Structure 1
Amino acid sequence: MSSSTAQPTVTLPADVRMPLLGFGTWQAHGESAHRAVTVALESGYRMIDTATAYGNEDLVGRAVADSGVPREDIFITTKLPAERVGREQRTIDESRQMLGVDQLDLWLIHWPPTRGSLVDTWRRMIEIRDAGQTRAIGVSNYSLAQIDELIAETGEAPAVNQIKWGPRLWNAPEVQGHHERGVVLEGYSPFKTTRLGDPVLNRIAETHRVSPAQVVVRWHIQHGIVVIPKSVTPARIRSNGDVFGFELSDEEIAAIDAMGN
């Protein structure tokens, strides 16, 4: 993979730079989680995504500490579970302790709360960010209508909305809606939402002599959508991140977009 300095980023509020390529850790447990994050960092990934609900923040933190990569070069995201609404401070304290960091780079509300107020939770997130415990805050699995509620009541939009995304879920109005609100779209499960055997992806992959998975990752990046491919297999981790040596044409991007129609 190219060096981190060559990797594209997107700018969040307060000039926080977030890599467009990150490494997901959902369902990664035990030594396989530590090894996967270690391989990802060795391969050049500089954004690691975890969550309280994943139960692996301590393993992620250990891999980050063991990597030798300077803390300021690694962008760390974790998430507040919806059921911990009302315990935001305790939750972020525990996350920072397990990750071994004084400050998160991005803290997300994992799912819209099923109890309490969306807005009250968002106000507490803002207070915690303003206290310096995380550089940026956002949400995950929120609709545009729910984001609008947060903006209307607090005057502040989430920096990021992390949602399930991939070529078969392509939705231009959804992308435009996030852009208009100043919210960065981040996609998870890029391969689970895609049929990697699709002829369109295979044709484009053959043209560039890469894998269909690499095409999917590159497609996200060229759209300016943050992507967090996940694997615990070292070869796949390296391959999924090796996407800076080729570029999709406008025609190829349009053909992939059409998979969502």
Structure 2
Amino acid sequence: MKRSGRLKTTRVVSTPPFDAGSATAATTCALKGGSLMPILGLGGGIFGGGAEEAIVSAIKLGYRLVDTSPKYGTEAALGRAIARSGVTRADVFVQTKVCNVGYTTALRSFARSLERLGLDYVDLLLMHSGISGAAKADPRSPRHSEDRAGTWRAMCQLKQEGKVRSIGVCNFSLRMLRELSRAEPPAVLQLEWHPLLQRWHVLRYCREQGIVVQGYGSGGGGWRLWRKRPELELLRRAPMQLAAHGKSAHQVSLRWAIEHGVCVIPKAERPNHQLENLQLFDFRLSADEMAALDGLSAHRSVYRFCDPDKYA
């Protein structure tokens, strides 16, 4: 029998990393080791040629966390944007990524990232996936686990050297998380999180282990989720969106994530969209509204990533 989203929610029994009721756009949460990470940031994704201007705009509006990756091609733009923004480097939480490529290649990849960023350190380094590109065609290959161990060892070393303040992972299965935690638990898990994809078993494990969850796609996957999922028409019509709160489906979905103690990094290139994503803290969703959104869970990914549960 399929359990309702509401029942799944009640299974998350431990304390969230921040108080959603008193949170603001400037609220931070503590990571393992003592670093403070903003609960709201600017998602990386692909900005094309407008990345630098978009990041400058976001920082000037008040964003203090920016997500990037070598795959996004925005690291150099982020470094230039910080220099232009008028905000000190120490006040911007910079997070980038390395792929699951093993020890030596991970060190080389990060060195190039730091050079492109033009920085001495990053606040958070994430392993972009637990799947090894060298063995992607073979889900059961031991190469996935071997490369994860090597990549994580490199990341731990970079942290010890002071080039990285905190380390974490993206798109990991629960089994991968447990395996990695035997060496050193990650500080952050970044994963796809929105009303149609709710991984309560992963969230509960992270709470128990003190791992902060950071969601991407939480506003609806760049609107693809809202356009392509007919069941979410209920959100478009819902009084809680327009009449009660005067908010868009995008904002309601982001607020839903925050109410569950999940940090969010919505992508927004235009200043008006960036401002909209900051306006999540002047309303709250009722228990009934939260239950309605919880009940939409269908384990449906908006993004075309490989399912980590299928890989060794």
TM over 0.5: yes
- Contact 2:32–2:210, Cα closer than 8 Å, also in 1: no
Matches of 2:170 and 2:200, distance apart in 1: 19
Range with bigger deviation, 157-166 or 81-90 = 81-90
- Encode CA deviations 1:179-229: one digit per residue, 9 max, x unaligned: 122221111122127427632364322111121111111122221111111
| Structure 2 counterpart SS, 1:185 | strand
Report which of the two has the higher share of strand.
Answer: 1
Cα shift at 1:7: 2.3
Task: Give the drift of 1:104.
Answer: 0.4
**CA RMSD in angstroms, aligned pairs only:** 2.0
Match of 1:182 in 2: 210
Give the 5 Å matches for 1:124-135: 124-135=154-165
56-65 or 190-199, which moves further after superposition?
190-199
2:303 matched residue in structure 1 = none
1:7 aligned partner = 26
Given residue 163 of structure 2, which amino acid in structure 1 is its aligned partner?
Answer: Q
Q: Describe the SS at the equivalent of 1:76.
A: strand
Equivalence for 1:225: 262
Q: 2:239 aligns with which of 197, 203, 227?
A: 203
Inter-partner Cα distance in structure 2 for 1:171 and 1:148: 15
Q: 1:66 offset after TM fit, Å? A: 0.6
The answer to whether the 8 A contact 1:139-1:161 is kept is yes
Supply the AA of the counterpart residue of 1:179. Answer: R
The answer on whether the counterparts of 1:144 and 1:178 sit within 8 Å (CA) in structure 2 is: no
By how many angstroms is 1:83 displaced? 4.1
Residue 133 (structure 1) shift: 0.4
Between the aligned residues of both structures, percent identity stands at: 36
State the Cα distance separating 1:251 from its structure 2 match.
2.5
Paired residues in the alignment total 255
Which of 119, 129, 132 aligns to 1:101? It is 119
Name which of 33, 39, 47 aligns with 1:20. Answer: 39
Q: CA deviation at 1:111?
A: 1.2
Query: Is the contact between residue 103 and residue 152 of structure 2 (CA under 8 Å) also seen in structure 1?
Result: no
Is the counterpart of residue 66 in structure 1 residue 101 in structure 2? Answer: no
1:166 offset after TM fit, Å?
Answer: 0.6
Q: Give the CA deviation at 1:151.
A: 1.7
Which amino acid is the alignment partner of residue 198 of structure 1?
A: E
Partner amino acid, structure 1, of 2:164: T
Q: 2:179 aligns with which of 127, 136, 149?
A: 149
Structure 2 length normalisation: TM-score? 0.76
Segments of structure 2 that go 5 or more residues without pairing to the other structure are 1-22, 133-142, 299-312
2:304 corresponds to which residue?
none
Secondary structure of 1:232 counterpart:
coil
Deviation at 1:97, TM superposition (A): 2.1
Amino acid at match of 1:117: D
| Contact 2:100-2:151 within 8 A present in 1 as well | no
Deviations 1:84-113 (A, max 9, x none): 752222222221222222110000011114
- Greater than 6 Å deviation, 4+ residue runs: none
* Equivalent position SS for 1:105: strand
* Mapped pair 1:119 → 2:154: no
CA distance in 2, matches of 1:82, 1:151: 16
Separation of aligned partners in 2, 1:85 and 1:26: 25
Higher alpha-carbon Rg:
2
